[in-house]
């Protein structure tokens, strides 16, 4: 069965600042911020959370099914997806709209400042789950238009599909009540450490209250790995050492792909997380967010080098 990936399909404009943001941004002048960063390199790559997750899931041998909206400028991206065997049956092109775009600046400490133009993504709710004519056992609600995220979460839960809620950069658009609705009854709630703190603040819930409303919680910690709870106590998952560190962009999406593939293949919660960590290590070695070239054999080798044998 296919794994449904809902979320953004976007074109990334990735810029590198060869300095540190903290050396340019004065803390006592935040209220009157006016700064410019010289970025000697610019790369234009295909991205968006849904497409990134789908790409890494495909490298694992999964069958990702992307539901998204894109603009009339999508032809070259469409060819890219076709070349990599990623189905786009439910990616709808909207005339007169632009495909969403992210403008990412990374400093020498791997901190990032991101601007995002939503474009066609704001109409992603126009692709309804009722339009999908195949069986789905697992679905993820990743950053997307607000209405789409709310509707997809409701529909997946109502259909009894294993539902992963991944609000990411879209989290600030939700009120406390809306965020609580996303969390309630989900199988997994996954965020990074900053987004976890924002979840606590925005929802007004305690950690214990959030964990009582969702089966699994995962907080990714960058190079420190991830901490997770399945209701029987927190576990820590170490990061996996890459061969080299090039670019952290897209690492979280690859982690999610590994986690989803583990669920789809009946791995334990801890094994799913470990596979996510392995996939993140491959992504950090590459520039861009859809550039992992390793196949399942190489993924298995790195997994077993760091953890135990992988039962796939």
Per residue in 124-158, pLDDT tens?
A: 999 999 889 888 989 999 999 999 999 999 999 99
At residue 312, does pLDDT exceed 80? no
Please indicate whether residue 111 or residue 64 has the higher confidence score (pLDDT).
Answer: 64
On whether residue 174 sits in a domain, the answer given is yes
For residue 204, the domain's CATH number is 3.40.1190.20
On whether residue 70 sits in a domain, the answer given is yes
Q: Is 28 a catalytic residue?
A: no
Phi/psi of residue 11, each to 5°? -105, 125
pTM of the model: 0.90
On whether residue 82 sits in a domain, the answer given is yes
At residue 189, does pLDDT exceed 80? yes
Q: What percent of the chain has pLDDT over 70?
A: 100
* pLDDT of res. 165: 98
On whether residue 118 sits in a domain, the answer given is yes
On whether residue 28 sits in a domain, the answer given is no
Residue numbers of the domain that contains 67: 2-21+38-306
At residue 12, does pLDDT exceed 90? no
On whether residue 312 sits in a domain, the answer given is no
Which of 264-276 are b and which e, b meaning 16 or more Cβ less than 10 Å from the residue's Cβ?
bbebebebbbbbb
At residue 87, does pLDDT exceed 80? yes
CA distance 70 to 94: 6
- Confidence class of residue 170 from pLDDT cuts 50, 70 and 90? very high
* pLDDT of res. 115: 86
On whether residue 204 sits in a domain, the answer given is yes
Which is nearest to 217 in space by CA: 205, 198, 235, 202? 235
Whether the Cβ atoms of residue 52 and residue 289 lie closer than 8 Å to each other:
yes
Domains identified in the chain, total number: 1
On whether residue 167 sits in a domain, the answer given is yes
Among the listed residues 107, 166, 247, 253, the single catalytic one is 253
At residue 50, does pLDDT exceed 90? yes
Whether the Cβ atoms of residue 241 and residue 267 lie closer than 8 Å to each other:
no
């Amino acid at each position: 069965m296919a794994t449904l990936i809902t979320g953004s399909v976007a074109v990334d404009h990735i810029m590198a600042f060869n300095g540190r943001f903290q050396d340019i941004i004065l803390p006592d002048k935040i209220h009157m911020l006016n700064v410019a960063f010289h970025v000697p390199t610019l790369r234009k790559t295909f991205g968006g959370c849904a497409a990134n997750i789908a790409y890494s899931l495909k490298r694992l041998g999964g069958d990702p099914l992307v539901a998204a909206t894109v603009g009339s400028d999508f032809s070259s991206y469409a060819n890219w997806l076709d070349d990599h065997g990623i189905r786009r049956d439910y990616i709808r092109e909207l005339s007169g709209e632009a495909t969403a775009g992210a403008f990412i600046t990374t400093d020498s400490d791997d901190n990032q400042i991101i601007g995002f133009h939503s474009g066609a993504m704001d109409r992603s709710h126009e692709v309804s789950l009722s339009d999908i004519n195949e069986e789905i056992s697992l679905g993820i609600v990743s950053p997307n238009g607000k209405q789409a995220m709310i509707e997809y979460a409701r529909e997946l839960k109502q259909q009894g599909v294993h539902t992963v809620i991944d609000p990411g950069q879209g989290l600030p658009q939700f009120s406390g009540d809306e965020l609580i609705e996303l969390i309630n009854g989900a199988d997994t709630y996954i965020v990074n450490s900053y987004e976890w703190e924002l979840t606590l603040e925005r929802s007004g819930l305690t950690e214990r209250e959030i964990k009582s409303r969702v089966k699994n919680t995962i907080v990714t910690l960058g190079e420190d790995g991830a901490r997770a709870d399945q209701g029987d106590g927190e576990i820590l998952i170490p990061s996996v050492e890459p061969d080299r560190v090039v670019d952290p962009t897209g690492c979280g999406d690859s982690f999610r792909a590994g986690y989803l593939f583990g669920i789809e293949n009946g791995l334990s919660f801890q094994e799913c997380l470990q596979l996510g960590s392995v996939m993140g290590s491959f992504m950090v070695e590459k520039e861009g967010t859809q550039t992992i070239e390793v196949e399942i054999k190489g993924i298995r080798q790195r997994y077993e080098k760091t953890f135990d044998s992988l039962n796939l």
